Each structure stands twice: as structure tokens, then as C-alpha cells.
Amino acid sequence: MSAKILVVEDEPVIALDIQRQLTQLGYTVVAIADCATLALEAVERWHPDLALMDIRLRGDQNGIETAALIRQHHEVPIVFLTAHADAATMQQVKAVYPYGYIVKPFEKHDLMTAIEVALNRYQAELVTQAALAKEKELNKLKSDFIAIVSHEFRNPLSAILLSLDLLQRHHSQLTFAKAQSLLQRARLAADRIKHLLQEVLTTATAEAGKLQCEPSPIDLVAFCHQLIAEFQLDHDLKNTPQTTIVLTHTKEPDERNSLIDLDENLLHHILTNLLSNAIKYSPHGGKVQFRVHHTLDAAIFQVQDCGIGIPERDLPHLFERFHRASNAKAIPGTGLGLAIVKQCVDLHGGTIDVQSILGVGTTFTVTIPITQNEDCLPSA
């Protein structure tokens, strides 16, 4: 595809000659402008790949000032075409960081060389900027990770150390029930650390592109009942306000069993994160509705709680790493859970939808397509 060129030249005859030469060289001239106003309008409309800019223009603003205005709002490389080559002019030109400078009169091959050098330099700068942006993102990710881990690990580690210290110092004075309580506290803290490490490892695996989707037949009813049993055991250990998970399983009439080809590991990540969030953000307990429905084409999972809800301004950022809703700061968490859910859903080629009302509750709906005799989508 030929590069799109904007010609900014106040002499009509010269402008048409430049247009002719550019066309012969295989470029596309999107517009000719003779003043700053028309040049800016052309950039807005045509989004050229490069602008050839004369220094002398019609109107109050010259080519250097016009180039500065373009740079304020658009990333368009500019090559100056002018008869002025004195030191003062060159100093002014340098201030707007041009990608080239051709002194009139010039040969056709000089024009092509200047354009190609400018375009190649611009593309190289885009690659460099993208690399720097990626590095900046990775540095922020590392910084956020260190901050989250140091904060979230501190409390459970302190709980373990305190429990062990009390058991060591006062074991002879402790009743059996008190000793068991301290051991249970240490175990819960250790489980919390294990969960944090699992989240971090899963995120790292996904970031490295090594999180795979390997489907195999799963009995959805048995799988979901096992999940609920795990949450019930966790509740009994923590002795927290009772939250009941109510499982409802439905299927189309022509579905004779609940065996579906899905990746069990990814599905476990999806559902445990959604169910644990539903419980965690329902501080007064209550019921969590866990609905599972499957057809010949899709498996649909819905988790609905009656918790604190999610502020509307947080919804667009819900699946970003380390993002936590503004009303959840006092509740422990890393902000990785929903990011992991989204990655696992994407690997299945599925979708996730969320509806939430503050103070009323939140509903997550995950839809995973079912393909016959095909693997899930490859990891990105």
C-alpha cells in the first residue's frame, strides 16, 4: 500500500509539480494545502502518513508554526521543502523535530530518499515507543506485584508466627481447645498464603503464554457439588457468617447427561474465584445462587450474590490485574482473581458478563461454547 502524503505548499504551480512527482514515485497525495488552516483540516480528515511542508505559507502562520500545531495533536512525520537554508531558519526548524529537510530545487530521487528515510525512521520510533511502553507496563506490574504481595502476605504470616509463638511459650498453660484454636488460626493463614501463591503463579503462567486449555469430559453436576463441598469445609473451619451456596442445574431436554468437554483446571479457576468473591463480598452471609445450564452449544454458569455490589465506575476496569473496587479496600484481596477468571474464559473462547447494583448484589454470567471433537482455543 502506497504512503499517503499531504503537500503543504503556497505556490500552486510548485504544489502541482510535487504532486506529479509523488504520483510517479508511487505515493498517494491525499490533499494540497497552502495555509495552516487547510493543512490542519487535511490532517484531521485524511490522517496522512507524512506531510511535505513548505516554510513560507499563505496566511499568518508559516510552515514551522504549522508543523508545531500538527505535532500538538497528531503523530505525523514532517519533511520540510524550502528554498531557505540559512542558519537561523535551520535553528527554527530543529525546534519542531522534523523528519527531513529538502532544499529547493531538488531531484525526484532526492524527494523519494527523504520520504523513505522519514517513514522508516518514524516506524522505528513507533517500535521503540511500543517497547518502552511494554517495559513501563512490566515495571508497573512488578511494582504492583511487590506491593500487593508484601501487603497481603504480612497478615497471614503474622498470624502464623503469633500462633506458633503462643503455642511455644505457653503450651503448658493452654487448654486443649485453646491450642486447637491457635492451630486452626495458623492453618487458615497458611491456606490464605497458599491461595495467594496460586493466584500469582497462575497469573505468571498466563502472562508467559503457557496457560493451556486442554478439554476433557467433565461431569458438571458432580464437579459443581464437589466445589460446594470445598467451600462448605472452608466455612466450617473459619466459622464465618453462614453463606449458603444454592446449586441449580438445568439442561435442554435432549441433553441426556451432564458430561461436557471442558478444561477442568481452567473451570476450577473460574468458578472458585467467582464463588469465593460472592461469599467474601457478602459479609453478612445469606444465599449465593449458583446456576448451571448447558445445551448442545454452550455451558452457562451464573453466580449471584446479595453482597455489597460494585460501583459503576469500577465496572470497566473489573478484569484488570490488581484493580479492586473502590468499596472493597477494607476486604483482603489481590485484585488478581477476576483477571484470572477472564483469562480462563478467553482461553475457552467464552464470554463473561457482570451486572451489579450497590447494596443489592452482583451477578456474573460465564458462557462457554461447546465444540464437538475440537480443542479449546489455543493460548495467546
pLDDT band at 374 (very low <50, low <70, confident <90, very high): very low
Closest CA to 306 of 272, 341, 352, 357: 357
- Minimum mean pLDDT among 53-62, 183-192, 218-227: which range? 183-192
244 vs 42 pLDDT, higher one: 42
pLDDT band at 165 (very low <50, low <70, confident <90, very high): confident
- Identity of the highest mean pLDDT range in 77-81, 193-197, 211-215, 233-237: 77-81
Are the CB atoms for 73 and 31 separated by under 8 Å?
no
Per CATH, is 216-369 categorized as 2.40.50.140? Answer: no
The pLDDT assigned to 380 comes to 43
Q: Where are the domains of the chain?
A: 4-106, 142-207, 216-369
The pLDDT assigned to 236 comes to 55
- pLDDT at residue 371 tops 70: no
Closest CA to 366 of 254, 224, 257, 255: 224
- At 176, the amino acid letter reads F
- pLDDT at residue 376 tops 70: no
286 vs 34 pLDDT, higher one: 34
- Rounded to an integer, the average pLDDT of 180-193 is 81
pLDDT band at 375 (very low <50, low <70, confident <90, very high): very low
Per CATH, is 4-106 categorized as 3.40.50.300? Answer: no
DSSP, collapsed to helix, strand or coil, labels residue 223 as: helix
97 vs 235 pLDDT, higher one: 97
Number of continuous H segments (helices) and E segments (strands) in the chain = 9, 12
How far from 326 is each of 20, 219, 329, 334, 356, CA to CA, in Å?
60, 38, 6, 13, 14
pLDDT band at 123 (very low <50, low <70, confident <90, very high): very high
Q: Is the full-model pTM beyond 0.75?
A: no
How far from 165 is each of 106, 137, 184, 186, 190, CA to CA, in Å?
85, 41, 14, 11, 15
The pLDDT assigned to 170 comes to 85
The pLDDT assigned to 305 comes to 92
pLDDT digits (tens, 9 = 90+) for 352-365: 999 999 989 999 99
Query: 351-357 and 361-369 as β-strands: parallel, antiparallel, unpaired?
Result: antiparallel
Considering the chain, what percentage of its residues have pLDDT values greater than 70?
Answer: 88
Sheet holding 298-304, edge to edge: 243-251, 286-294, 298-304, 361-369, 351-357
The pLDDT assigned to 150 comes to 67
Is the four-CA dihedral 102, 103, 107, 110 of positive or negative sign?
A: negative
Query: 50-53 and 28-33 as β-strands: parallel, antiparallel, unpaired?
Result: unpaired
Contacts of 152 (CB under 8 A, 6+ apart): 196, 332, 333, 334
Note whether 4-106 and 142-207 share their fold. no
Considering the chain, what percentage of its residues have pLDDT values greater than 90?
Answer: 39
Are the CB atoms for 266 and 347 separated by under 8 Å?
yes
- At 312, the amino acid letter reads E
pLDDT digits (tens, 9 = 90+) for 321-357: 878 888 887 787 778 889 889 999 999 999 999 999 9
Per CATH, is 142-207 categorized as 1.10.3470? Answer: no
Cβ atoms < 10 Å from Cβ of 186: 19
pLDDT digits (tens, 9 = 90+) for 281-315: 887 778 899 999 988 889 999 999 999 999 999 99
